[in-house]
Chain A
Amino acid sequence: MEKILALCARNSGHELMYEQLKTALSLYPSDEHSWTRLIHKAEQHGVASLLYRHLRHIDFPVPVSGRRMLQSLYLRNRRSNKCRNNAVLEIVSACGREGIDVMLVKGIALCNSVYDEVALRPMRDVDLLIRKADIFRAEEILIDLGYSSVTDHAVPDDYYHLTPLEKIIDGLPVGIELHHNLLPFHPQYPLWPFEKSFQTSRQIMVDGTPVHTLSLEDTLYYAYLHGFQAPLTYEPYRLMHVADIVSLIEKYSKQLDWPGIRKESATLLTSIACFHFLTPLPSAVRRKADFDFSRKPWGVGRPFTGWPLRKIRDTDWRNMFDLLVETLLPPQWWLQLYYGCQQGADYWKARCLYHPRTIWRWIKVYSAACFKNRKPPATG
């Protein structure tokens, strides 16, 4: 099941990928129950529409109930995202009239610039990056447009985005998050205010209207930080984030400033190489980025499942040893992905030094929180 979904974690397929997909499908049970499980898993990973797209491409005979589930998910994504596009265009235009610059970021930017159709990239809400000085004016504009605060989702004043605003459009609740910083304030993340990216921003088209978003390199770096270098307690690994990066580098492999990326973050390239073992990158992209694919790491596709992602209080005492192993000895593939390390000495450094150090930091965070009798930070 994991192999099928991992292979489909991309906007466009190619010959080798489809060959591997057909092989994986031939080994998968053809009963309706198994397909229902596969589709639920695909939905959890945010790749149900991509699964549908690739199965349709190879004309695979999906059982009727499964096919209908996929169709339904695809249509729902398409409808929801079209609705969000309309909402965004209204907001960008209203902010523009007041002289407020807006950058589309995260899902809304990716689905309109990286994927061939908006249906292929689900999102929970719309994220907009705005200068801190403008953010409360922008909030007022949204309130004038009929948005209101989601009361049970209030966020602290010093948070990296304001309390989400929501409006029901054509029966769909459209949530908007106004960010003055792209990523949560956490020691593991760089500060990323509007000014960091606006000068190098690029224009993308949303239903024929030009809007601003991050540069390709910033988009790639953001997707990497958000999806694969997040603090261990954050949202668990999802194939949707693999699809974002794989689709981006395939679509824009010629435009991306590869030497610049290598200079800024060599670990990013090493991490990208890990995706090749999930869904093969075409040779042109591999040459461009000069990835190292010398040896397949063990545990491909298996993310970190140890503490502090999994809570000790939720673990049965009989499984404590497993939790300890998962915490201290994560799979090689994940280790290379998370720490951006190559094979050899780099890998052993990550295994024996970086990862134990990360766990140790979390122990200190939790100990300090217990000591002060308050909740630990960073539950993003």
Chain B
Amino acid sequence: MDIQKKVVFEPGYLLEKIDDEITVYHPTLATSLYLNETGALIWELCDGERSISEVIDILVENYPENSPQIADDVRALIRRLLEKNIAVLR
């Protein structure tokens, strides 16, 4: 995965909290994805402007105690988003 690329979400996907779970869903498609708190934060940071490496840098800066894990977590989530056609890399 090229971490210099930006994550761009397909139009229409929304993130909402329901029953203490964070869900990414589309109003007309059956695709949905469940995120934990970290996933939700990564979702927010991937605004189409920041590259993946910038997202990782922000998280490492704010959560230095988790820094060894952060890059893997970000990559894993983005891989899931790509697999489900919720996002593309540009």
**What A residues does B11 contact at CB under 8 A?**
171
**What B residues does A83 contact at CB under 8 A?**
27
CB atoms of B21 and A71 under 8 A apart: yes
Give Cα distance in the complex from A180 to B21, angstroms.
45
**What B residues does A74 contact at CB under 8 A?**
18
A236 close to B (CB within 8 Å): no
CB atoms of A171 and B26 under 8 A apart: yes
Count A-B contacts at CB 8 Å: 42
CB atoms of A68 and B32 under 8 A apart: yes
Q: Mark A309-346, 1 if CB is under 8 A from B, else 0.
A: 00000000000000000000000000000000000000
CB atoms of A76 and B12 under 8 A apart: no
CB atoms of B32 and A79 under 8 A apart: no
Contact of B18 among A71, A170, A173 (CB under 8 A): A71
CB atoms of B32 and A171 under 8 A apart: no
A56 close to B (CB within 8 Å): yes
CB atoms of B18 and A172 under 8 A apart: no
Of all chain A residues, which has the CB nearest B12?
A171
CB atoms of A76 and B19 under 8 A apart: no
Q: In the complex, which residues 54-71 of chain A have their Cβ closer than 8 Å to any Cβ of chain B?
A: 56, 67-68, 71
**What B residues does A75 contact at CB under 8 A?**
14, 16, 18, 23, 25
Give Cα distance in the complex from A74 to B34, angstroms.
15
CB atoms of B32 and A173 under 8 A apart: no
B30 close to A (CB within 8 Å): yes
Contact of A173 among B16, B23, B28 (CB under 8 A): B28
CB atoms of A71 and B28 under 8 A apart: no
**What A residues does B14 contact at CB under 8 A?**
75, 79
A11 close to B (CB within 8 Å): no
Contacts A68-B32, A74-B18 given; does A171 touch B23 at CB 8 Å: no
Of all chain B residues, which has the CB nearest A82?
B27
Contact of A71 among B12, B19, B27 (CB under 8 A): B19
Give Cα distance in the complex from A56 to B25, angstroms.
20
Contacts A71-B19, A75-B18 given; does A172 touch B28 at CB 8 Å: yes
A219 close to B (CB within 8 Å): no
Give Cα distance in the complex from A99 to B34, angstroms.
48
Min distance, Cβ A82 to any Cβ of chain B, angstroms? 9
Of all chain A residues, which has the CB nearest B16?
A75
CB atoms of B34 and A172 under 8 A apart: no
Contacts A75-B18, A170-B12 given; does A80 touch B23 at CB 8 Å: no
CB atoms of B32 and A72 under 8 A apart: yes
Of all chain A residues, which has the CB nearest B28?
A172
**What A residues does B23 contact at CB under 8 A?**
68, 71-72, 75
Contacts A68-B32, A68-B34, A172-B12 given; does A76 touch B21 at CB 8 Å: no
Chain B interface residues (CB < 8 Å from chain A) = 11-12, 14, 16, 18-19, 21, 23, 25-28, 30, 32, 34
Across chains A and B, which 5 residue pairs bring their CB atoms closest together, nearest first?
Answer: A171-B12, A79-B27, A72-B32, A172-B27, A171-B11
Chain A interface residues (CB < 8 Å from chain B) = 56, 67-68, 71-72, 74-76, 79-80, 83, 170-173
9 pairs, A vs B, C-beta closer than 8 Å: A68-B21, A72-B23, A75-B25, A79-B14, A171-B11, A171-B12, A171-B28, A172-B28, A173-B28
